[in-house]
Each structure stands twice: as structure tokens, then as C-alpha cells.
Amino acid sequence: MNICINCGVELEEGLKHCPLCGKNQDEPADVKAETMNYPSDIISLHKKETRKHIWELTGIIAFSGIAVCTIVDLVIGKGIKWSLYADASIVSAWLFLTFILLKIRNVWILITGLSATILMMLLMFDLITPGANWFIPVGLPITLSAAFFACLVVILYRYARFKGFNILAIIFLSAAGFCILIEIILDKYMKGSVDVHWSLFAAISILPIALVLFYVHYRMKKGNKLDSFFHI
């Protein structure tokens, strides 16, 4: 059995260059050791290149879609009208995909970027809709509320000593609070007064689920396994 002197991959008889890392098997093993390629490095490089190609391809598709929508609107509608909504949506979707493909490890930058993208899209919708004026009283506070609850979940997750069902319970409680905030914001915008109804029922429905998750988390923290807890 022939083994690559660089990355350790099994080689077929007669191969002088490794098909994975490209190392010449006739060279000493210590030549250019500082630039040796290992399988994990090559796989990571391939993944990075794949993400780059996907990002470029999606960019071409996105901006081609924008061009098509704009041209069709100009030809059929004799002006730029509905295509503005499509263009803003396509750009926002592409930016969302960009953040995902970049694999940003800093969660605060990720939340900020996604929130800014949503705000940009909502602002565009508000500007191109005559007489709407709903971005500041509705779109802005709802988006900031979503970002706040996302940050709250991240903070509690990072500072939790034991991570388990308690994180799911926190997410459910955050969703309940977000529903209440949405109804308050919409009531102020549409009625001028606050009259909480559906969001309160949603929060009350979510509360038992969160309590059960907290209870299961407490039991598991005490050393009970999940299968024995449910008598499986």
C-alpha cells in the first residue's frame, strides 16, 4: 500500500503525484513543509470556493431578474411601477443569501446586517407606495423589536451554564412578547389606541409550552436522561 507522504491518502501503484494534495512522491517529505496541504485544508478550501461560486451565480441571477422585471415594466406598463417592488425584494433576498454564504461568525454583525436589510426593503416599499407612510410607525419598530428579541435570546444562550430545553423555552417566550409588541404597534398605527386581544391569547397559549420546557430542562439538569424521563 502506497501512502502520500504529505496528506496520508492511499495511492494507487505507480502514481507519482497525489490526486488530492498534488504532492510529488519523489520529493523528500520535509520539502516545503510549511506549505503542506492536508485533507481538511483542501476540503475547507473547496467549500470556500463553492460558496464563492454560488454567491457569484446568485448575484448574476438576481441582477438578471432585476433587469428583466424592469424592462418588462417599461415595455408593458410604460414606466417603472410594480417592478420596484420586485427589484427591492430580489436585492433583499440576495443580501440575505450573501450573509448566509459569508458564514459570518459574529452573531451581532449578522443580526445587524439582516435587520438593516429588512429595514432597507421596508423603507423602499414605503417610498414607492404613494400616501402610505407606514415605515416609521410600523416597519421600523417591528423590525427593531425582532432584532431586540433575537439579541436577547443570543445573550441568554451565551450566559446560560447548561444549554438545553431552556433555550427553546426562551425562544417561545420571546415569540410571545414579540406578538404582543406587534399588536401594540399596529393598534397605535391603525386605531390610535392600544387594545390587546389576539396577541394575549397567543402568549397565553405559548406560556404552558415554555413552562413544560423549563420543567424538562430542570429535570434533565438534575441528571435524568431524556429517554428515562419519558419512560422510553
Rounded Cα distance, 224 and 163, in Å: 15
Per the structure, the complete domain to which residue 195 belongs is given by 142-232
pLDDT score, position 139: 93
- The answer to whether residues 135 and 156 touch, using CB atoms and an 8 Å cutoff, is no
In this structure, is residue 5 part of a structural domain? yes
Residue 200 vs residue 40, higher pLDDT: 200
In this structure, is residue 122 part of a structural domain? no
In this structure, is residue 133 part of a structural domain? no
CB neighbour class for 96 (10 Å; exposed up to 12, middle 13-18, buried from 19): middle
Residue 220 vs residue 59, higher pLDDT: 59
In this structure, is residue 102 part of a structural domain? no
In this structure, is residue 199 part of a structural domain? yes
The answer, as to whether pTM is greater than 0.75, is no
Number of domains in the chain: 2
**Residue located via cell numbers 460558496:** 51
In this structure, is residue 181 part of a structural domain? yes
DSSP secondary structure code for residue 41 in this structure:
H
Q: How confident is the model at residue 34 (pLDDT cuts 50, 70, 90)?
A: very low
- The answer to whether residues 155 and 169 touch, using CB atoms and an 8 Å cutoff, is no
In this structure, is residue 212 part of a structural domain? yes
In this structure, is residue 151 part of a structural domain? yes
Mean pLDDT of the chain: 82
